[in-house]
């Protein structure tokens, strides 16, 4: 299956020096790569401009940061591939990942989005997640409506729902795809991807400079993270959701979603947890 990949960077040369070589490490992987830099002034643009590989079909150096979602929407609109994937500059992929996911997509028409596991292999508990482990032919996944991080989606599934809506989160977008009957999930056996911007990653460059990281991390601001303990607590919430919560997208929308959010709000009130 033909694959289009988008690599998106913005002022994180300290991670891009690792993530781009890893993405190109396996020369036998077949994909067309677009590199988009969102107004970097830290040397990322110059580093990416020097990268050479026959699979790179386009490089775009935006003079300013226009945000991730407009770039993703443009990539979706311009793609004519079977599969499309997005890789941010802080993700250290496992070489060969596209080959595994593309083979699964080719054999299972129901698959919408398949993802690599970005929470650390040591965090995964098969027994705990067994209620949502599902097998399709020779392929097994941890099924869940949304799968952030690195993955491949069928372009047809994306076209079924259109591009991102204004202000829409990734979670909500992938859930819309699942609600249309497409199967989303994390491929198993897990394909690890290192999220280098997690404070516990060995690649994290802001050790001892947490306040500086908070100013640069869009995800931290979005989720109300203010301290290292907040970051760890949010990580546990995400892990609980992926391992323990239902795989059926209908449980997160409509009246079911209202009830679920109400219960979660009550839990936070009783425990005093911001998450």
As given in the structure block, the two tokens for residue 195 are: 């999220």
Residue 268 has pLDDT above 90, yes or no: no
Percent of the chain with pLDDT over 90: 76
pLDDT of residue 211: 85
Among the residue ranges 76-85, 113-122, 254-263, the one predicted with the least confidence is 254-263
Residue 89 lies in a domain: yes
Q: pTM of the prediction? A: 0.93
**How do residues 203-235 score in pLDDT, each as one tens digit?**
999 888 888 888 878 778 777 888 888 888 889
Residue 274 lies in a domain: no
Residue 124 lies in a domain: yes
Residue 7 lies in a domain: yes
The tally of domains found in the chain comes to 1
Q: Which CATH number covers residue 70?
A: 3.90.550.10
**How do residues 98-135 score in pLDDT, each as one tens digit?**
999 999 999 999 999 999 999 999 999 999 999 999 99
Residue 251 lies in a domain: no
Residue 49 has pLDDT above 80, yes or no: yes
Residue 231 lies in a domain: no
DSSP letter string, the chain: --EEEEEEESS-HHHHHHHHHHHTS-TT---EEEEEEES--SSHHHHHHT---TTEEEEEEESS---HHHHHHHHHHH--SSEEEEEETTEEPPTTHHHHHHHHHHH-TTEEEEE-B-S-GGG--TTTTGGGEEEETTEEEEE-S---SSEEEEHHHHHHH-SPPTT--HHHHHHHHHHTT-EEEEEES--B-EETTSTTSTT-S-TT-HHHHHHH-HHHHHTT--SHHHHHHHHHHHHHHHHHS-S-GGGGSHHHHHHHHHHHHHHHHHHT---
As given in the structure block, the two tokens for residue 148 are: 């952030």
Residue 227 lies in a domain: no
Q: What are phi and psi of 157, to 5 degrees?
A: -65, -40
Q: Residue 19 in contact with residue 90, Cβ under 8 Å?
A: yes
Tell me the residue range of the domain where 151 lies.
3-195
Residue 265 has pLDDT above 90, yes or no: no
pLDDT of residue 127: 97
How far is CA 145 from its chain centroid?
13
Residue 165 lies in a domain: yes
The residues pairing with 9 across neighbouring beta strands, listed in sequence order, are 37
Under 8 Å CB-to-CB from 210, ≥6 apart: which residues? 199, 227, 228
């Amino acid at each position: 299956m033909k694959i289009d990949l988008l690599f998106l960077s913005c002022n994180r040369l300290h991670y891009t020096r690792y993530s781009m070589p890893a993405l190109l490490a396996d020369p036998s992987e077949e994909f067309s790569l677009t590199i988009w830099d969102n107004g970097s002034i830290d040397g990322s643009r110059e580093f990416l401009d020097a990268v050479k590989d026959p699979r790179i079909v386009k490089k775009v150096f935006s003079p300013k940061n226009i945000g991730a979602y407009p770039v993703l929407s443009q990539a979706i609109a311009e793609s004519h591939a079977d599969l499309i994937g997005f890789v941010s500059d802080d993700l250290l992929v496992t070489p060969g990942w596209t080959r595994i996911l593309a083979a699964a997509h080719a054999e299972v028409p129901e698959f919408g989005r398949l993802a690599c596991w970005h929470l650390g292999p040591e965090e995964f508990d098969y027994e705990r997640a067994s209620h949502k482990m599902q097998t399709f032919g020779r392929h097994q996944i941890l099924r869940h409506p949304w799968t952030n991080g690195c993955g491949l989606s069928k372009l047809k599934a994306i076209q079924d729902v259109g591009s991102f809506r204004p202000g829409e989160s990734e979670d909500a977008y992938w859930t819309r795809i699942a609600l249309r009957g497409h199967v989303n999930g994390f491929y198993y056996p897990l394909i690890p991807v290192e999220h280098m911007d997690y404070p516990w990653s060995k690649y994290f460059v802001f050790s001892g400079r947490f306040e500086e990281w908070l100013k640069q991390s869009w995800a931290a601001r979005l989720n109300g993270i203010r301290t290292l303990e907040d970051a760890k607590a949010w990580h546990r919430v995400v892990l609980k959701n992926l391992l323990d919560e239902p795989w059926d997208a209908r449980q997160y929308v409509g009246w079911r979603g209202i009830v679920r959010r109400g219960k979660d709000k009550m839990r936070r009130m009783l425990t005093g947890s911001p998450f």
